[in-house]
Amino acid sequence: MRQALWTRMSSVLFLVVLGAEPAILPAVPPSAVPVPAIPAVVPSGPVDEDKPIGVLPAVVLPEHHHPLLEAEADFLLWKVRRGNVPVLVTTSTAPSTAVPPPGTLGQNQTTILFGGSTLPFDEQVGLRAAFTLYPVADGPVGLQLGGFFLGRSTVNYSVASNAQGSPILAQPLTTPDLGPNALPIAIPNFGPDPGFRGDISEQVTSNLFGYEINAVHHYRKIDGYPQMHSLGGFRALGLQESLVQTTNITNLANPLNNNLPLNGVPVRSVRIIDSFRASTNFYGGQFGVRACWIFSAVSVDVWGKLALGVSQQHVIRSGESIGSNGDRVAAGVRVVSSNAGTDTWNRFAVLPEVGLNLGYAVTDNIRLRLGYTFLYLSSAARVGEQIDTTVDRRLVPTTNAYNAPGAVARPAVLRNSTDFWAQGGNLGLEITF
């Protein structure tokens, strides 16, 4: 009897806690043991009428917050791959009457003064910046705009003879009819006749820049794993280079002879300008990933990107010879009628980039960082690769063979492409809002 009574009491208590209506108990015989009073269960706090009393609330996980705006800026100190340039200037100890002429490549007395190797571009200084905006608070998708540029790197070279034309200076070349040869810039004499005095300068420039637009996905952080990001979007990269060669030649003969003509007319002096400008513009789609490990105030950030697209390569060649008599001819030595003008071609290219940053959180919103970046482009037009070293003297207006019949179309239009890379360190900061 007592066991049945406690069973009924337990059922009533359970139903009261759950907020259910207890069933009506049958009358207890007077002889039964009296039932102890059961205190009413009153919920604490406001009661939500839409939820039954006694139902446990759902477990709410803490939200993952990230900033609405991320701003990044870096100071860059990079090196770019050196470009090849053919031999453009030589000197010689050979007699002025030597055949082939002094300064011709392959002679024991010839010394290379400029070209024939890679150009020693110095480290280039630049800036890089990126801004990532998350339109929805704590939303996983953002829009990123970024770009960088390196300041122009320049290689300058110049050499000049004395007033008597020493030392010998020359432009080496290969002629279709005579083979290896050279055109004099400075030479003391031509046999019994006075020679030339002269100078030549070379200026080579290079600068690199790029920009990108990406959609960025910010993944929820999982304990034990790095914070992950992915991106996809548009990537552009530009490489611009130039090579300008300026030559000044003065005829020492008095009275004037025909050793220095311009368009068949003897002149006292002439200035010759050969200009090459090469540009590469890469456009393509890209995707990438980024992983960040955070150890208190210290962070390690690693990223990789890969872009696939088209490399548009553009070369402008121009030449001009200006005589002391005021005459001008639209041809130099390296650029004449056979190769002057503009040329454009396209190549499929890949553009990968990898990098590493070590960061330190100064405050909750500011992080300093030091890192390294390597960037590679599979196809680019380098300016030195566009110079044809074979030249037909019959197309050069400062030679006595100019406009002679039988000329061959050399120098030719070259469409040489090669790979390119840039790498270096960065020092910067990240600011979040």
The pLDDT confidence band at residue 34, using thresholds 50, 70 and 90, is low
Query: Residue for token digits 């009358």?
Result: 27
Residue 31 and residue 74 share a domain: no
Q: How much is the pLDDT for 66?
A: 61
Q: With beta carbons less than 8 A apart as the criterion, state whether 216 and 233 touch.
A: no
User: What is the pLDDT of the chain when averaged over all its residues?
Assistant: 88
Q: Where among 55, 80, 99 does a domain terminate? A: 55
Half-sphere exposure of 31 toward its Cβ, with a 13 Å CA cutoff? 1
Q: Which secondary-structure segment (H or E) carries 15?
A: helix 2-17
Query: Residue for token digits 């390119």?
Result: 420
Q: How much is the pLDDT for 65?
A: 54
Residue 88 and residue 50 share a domain: no
Between the CA of residue 12 and those of 17, 18, 200, 365, what are the distances in Å? Answer: 9, 10, 110, 58
Residue 169 and residue 130 share a domain: yes
Residue 135 and residue 24 share a domain: no
pLDDT at 160 over 50: yes
Residue 125 and residue 6 share a domain: no
Residue 361 burial (CB count, 10 A): 15
Q: Is residue 141 part of a domain?
A: yes
Residue 307 and residue 191 share a domain: yes
Q: Is residue 60 part of a domain?
A: no
The pLDDT confidence band at residue 117, using thresholds 50, 70 and 90, is confident
Q: How much is the pLDDT for 39?
A: 52
Please state the φ and ψ torsions of residue 2, each to the nearest 5 degrees. Answer: -65, -35
pLDDT at 64 over 50: no
Residue 154 and residue 87 share a domain: yes
pLDDT at 41 over 90: no
Residues above pLDDT 70, as percent of the chain: 85
Residues with Cβ within 8 Å of 244's Cβ and at least 6 positions away in sequence, in order, are: 202, 203, 273, 274, 275, 276
3-state secondary structure of 14: helix
Q: How much is the pLDDT for 361?
A: 96
d(Cα 170, Cα 91) in Å, to the nearest integer?
Answer: 6
Nearest CA to 117 out of 152, 146, 88, 154 is that of 88
Token reading at 130: 């990126």
Residue 102 and residue 215 share a domain: yes
Peptide bond into 167 cis (omega under 30): yes
3-state secondary structure of 335: coil
Q: How much is the pLDDT for 11?
A: 47
Q: How much is the pLDDT for 263?
A: 95
Q: Is residue 62 part of a domain?
A: no
d(Cα 173, Cα 169) in Å, to the nearest integer?
Answer: 13
Q: How much is the pLDDT for 433?
A: 86
What is the arithmetic mean of pLDDT over 254-267?
94
Residue 147 and residue 217 share a domain: yes
Q: Is residue 343 part of a domain?
A: yes
Q: Which domain holds residue 129?
A: 70-432
The pLDDT confidence band at residue 119, using thresholds 50, 70 and 90, is confident
Q: How much is the pLDDT for 173?
A: 96
Please state the φ and ψ torsions of residue 137, each to the nearest 5 degrees. Answer: -55, 125
Q: Is residue 182 part of a domain?
A: yes
What is the arithmetic mean of pLDDT over 32-61?
48
Residue 152 and residue 19 share a domain: no
Q: Is residue 389 part of a domain?
A: yes
Q: Is residue 302 part of a domain?
A: yes
